Structure 1
Amino acid sequence: MHRPGILGNGLKRLASAPRSRRSFATATDADVESARRYCLKQLQTSDYDAHLIHRFIPPPVQDTYAALRALNLELVRLPELVSNPTIGVMRMKFWQESIDKTFAGQPPREPICILLHRGLQQLELRAGSSSTAKSIKFWVSRLIRTRERHMDNRPFATLASLEDYAEHTYSTIMYATLASMPLRSMHVDHLASHIGKACGIVAVLRGIPILAAPAQPVRSPSGLDTPSRTQAILLPLDIMAEEGVKEEEVFRQGPNAPGLQDAIFKVATRANDHLITAREMLKRLKAGQDPGHEFEHQGEGEHQYFEEENNDTARDIRRGFGALLEAVPAAQWLLSLEKANFDPFAVKSSGWRLPWGVWQALSKERI
């Protein structure tokens, strides 16, 4: 999730990086520290939720987490920062190639890649296995592919397709974070799936006031200012049809558009349902019971598990709980949305309540 209205510039080269014809070079400790400062600054200014949660992620994983969230920010920004879709596709290809090189041990001199590579090096020292790195690469590549498919800000056909998007973005970032610990647990991944879906739906709802507003112009290579995108409403089309919401009325009337708040209520309810499910699962698992329902993504992609890796569920939850804290900002934003009568244009910042809520959740191991 990111704070609405805060858009950064494109990723900059490290100022201290020496000029070279090669696309990569061995990063020094100074390079890594510069990359770390860059990524953390991006989180502080444009993804405050991740900025808070970062410090509660296990220290050996913090670099990887910061790099993953900074990468997500970079991908989210692309539609705003490019003047035409072709350039956007080229940037997505650049990121995929950069990630491939990073996992091959040859990171380009981009802060995100340098910091991610350092995180992978630390993981190798702790775990000594390449299988975990392959798992992380799978999740990061899936994130990039999903962001590329949704660069045009087309609306979701159904609420189910919005959930699928959330699973392939925010849940996927959580899977990559857990893998970097390394932690392979079906139950913790199951919790991450529900929390990530809630976070993805909340991110779409938070973005409504931004995407419904006229786009800011982007300076093209020819020197002309052209809109980087058209106005958009990403609410599922089936929900919009049920409530009679029309895009043009939202663009003209904002929160006063007929049916908009009812449609947002329905979508927000689904996000809240996922958080309720995660809370109930967490209670059951901590009590030594089964989660209450099967993990629908078991067997997909890297969701392969072995019996011996899931013997101590309570231990796994403790180890992975920092990643599960993503539930707290999502829950607080949904509460603020409810207080605003499901008008996303009127939602106010949680202020001090968010860091306090994150700390409370961690200390009580409760989401």
Structure 2
Amino acid sequence: MNKHSKFFHILKPLKHIGMVTRQQSNEAMCNETAIEYCANIVKQYDYENFMATLLMTKSVRSPALVLRAFNVEIARVQDQTSDAQTAAFRLQFWHDTVKTIYQKEQNILNVPANPIAQELFKVCVCYGLQKRQLEKLILSRSNLLNSKHFKTLEDIEKYAEDSVSPIYYLLLDILGVANVNADHAASHLGKAQGITNILRSVRISNYHKMVTLPMDILMKYSVSQEDVLRCIDSENMRNVAYEVASRANSHLQKARSIEVPTISKQIFLPAIAIDQFLSKLQKVHFNLFDNALHVNTPTLPFRLYYNRVIKKF
């Protein structure tokens, strides 16, 4: 048996969020295909969050995969093209799609014939999700395309809050959890994950000639943008990584210290993957260019499962 089989069997079948009858079998098949499409997108491009999502309650799993797929699509825009105008057009497509979803007279026929867009419409209508949170996800990517860098570590925190935390806020809405502590945990975990994503993407960003590490920290340790683009490891470069990673870890520990409703802990499982990456980074002495950082951790699925069982993140 495959070591991940205990997780992947959950995916078969991934039911649509709505109830269907035997007479609606054709429609159900189409729905299931759309959900599987969303699941495959997340599995291919956001594997760690995919694994964590599989461990959610059945009623939450499918809408969560739709939200994750939507986020993957807008996050990948920058990687799919080097042309700024093309990237802007693609983000505008999703901005228009969200606008259509929240039109006064909601009608799925008005939504683009895109499986993610169609399923997002159903999730938004079913759960009454907040439009502004979806718009934040899009706007954060658009702002990064325009600026192409972060001046300060606080700018990265703001980007993380806008590009990651909204997913957790929306998942809390799907769970029906309206709790201040849960919101605070979502904010801190989003920041921790967003900052960690920046650290993980340093080598990838270099392919786009883009330095995403904060300029103020680079200047503090006399590290040039050219050093980052050329993947030059040095003591000063490691100091930069340490300072940024410390901020991510601070938010992670803060999120974990907050008492949240038990039902909401399942959506915070990505904290395990964040913790594992930061631990690996520490083991390689904060060398962001060490190949070990980009190798999948085989114990992650089991740690996710264990923490899901004991209701911790």
Choose the corresponding residue for 1:270, options 247, 250, 254. 247
- Kindly state the Cα deviation for residue 250 of structure 1 after the two structures are TM-superposed: 2.2
Cα displacement (A) at 1:30: 3.0
**Matched AA of 1:114:** Q
Question: Among residues 148, 158, 178, which one is paired with 2:152 in the alignment?
Answer: 158
TM-score (norm 2): 0.84
**1:38 touches 1:111 (CA, 8 Å); kept in 2?**
yes
Greater helix share, structure number: 2
Taking the aligned partners of 1:246 and 1:160, their CA distance within structure 2 comes to 20
Residue 119 of structure 1 is aligned with which of 105, 119, 123?
A: 123
Q: Which residue of 2 aligns with 1:95?
A: 94
* Structure 2 residue ranges without an equivalent (≥5): 1-25
CA displacement, residues 219-277 of structure 1 (integer Å, 9 cap, x when unaligned): xxxxxxxxxxx41111111111111110112223x142562111011000000011111
Query: In 2, are the aligned partners of 1:63 and 1:116 still within 8 Å (CA)?
Result: no
Shift of residue 153, structure 1, vs aligned partner: 6.2
> What corresponds to 2:272 in structure 1?
328
Which residue of structure 2 aligns with residue 289 of structure 1?
none
User: Residue type of the partner of 2:157?
Assistant: E
Q: Deviation digits for residues 279-302 of structure 1, max 9, x if unmatched? A: 222xxx3xxxxxxxxxxxxxxxxx
Q: Is the contact between residue 68 and residue 116 of structure 1 (CA under 8 Å) also seen in structure 2?
A: yes
Query: What is the alpha-carbon distance in structure 1 between the residues aligned to residue 28 and residue 98 of structure 2?
Result: 20
Which residue identity lines up with residue 84 of structure 1 in the other structure?
D
Counterpart position of 2:302: 356
Question: Superposed, which structure 2 residues align to 1:197-216 within 5 Å?
Answer: 197-213=191-207
| Contact 2:249 2:278 survives alignment (8 Å) | yes
Aligned to 1:108: 112
Instruction: Count residues with an aligned counterpart.
Output: 281
Tell me the alpha carbon deviations over residues 289-344 of structure 1, each in whole angstroms, 9 at most, x when there is no partner.
xxxxxxxxxxxxxxxxxxxxxxxx6xxx2121111112111111100111111122
The reply to whether residue 52 of structure 1 matches residue 30 of structure 2 is no
Q: What is the CA–CA distance in structure 1 between the aligned matches of 2:176 and 2:228, rounded to whole Å? A: 45
What are the equivalent positions in structure 2 for 1:8-47 lying under 5 Å apart? 28-47=27-46
Mapped to 1, the partners of 2:205 and 2:239 lie a distance apart of: 19
Please show how residues 1-367 of structure 1 align to structure 2 within 5 Å.
28-103=27-102, 104-106=106-108, 107-120=111-124, 122-123=126-127, 132-133=128-129, 135=130, 137-152=131-146, 154-213=148-207, 230-252=208-230, 254-257=231-234, 259-281=236-258, 285=259, 317-346=261-290, 347-367=293-313
> What percent identity do the matched residue pairs reach?
27
Aligned to 1:298: none
| Structure 1 CA distance for aligned equivalents of residues 132 and 96 of structure 2 | 13
Counterpart of 2:249, as a letter, is N
* Structure-2 separation of matches of 1:255 and 1:174: 35
Gaps (5+ residues) in structure 1? 1-26, 124-131, 214-229, 286-312
Q: CA deviation at 1:164?
A: 0.7
Match of 1:7 in 2: none
Structure-1-length-normalised TM-score: 0.72
Q: Is the 8 A contact 1:183 1:320 kept in 2?
A: yes
Runs of at least 4 residues off by over 4 Å: none
Rounded to whole Å, the distance in 2 between the matches of 1:362 and 1:263 is: 34
- SS in structure 2 of the partner of residue 256 of structure 1: coil
- Name the CA distance, whole Å, in 1 between partners of 2:134 and 2:30: 22
**Which amino acid counterpart does residue 270 of structure 1 have in structure 2?**
R
Contact kept, 8 Å, 2:140 with 2:162, in 1: the verdict is: yes
Letter in 1 for 2:84: P
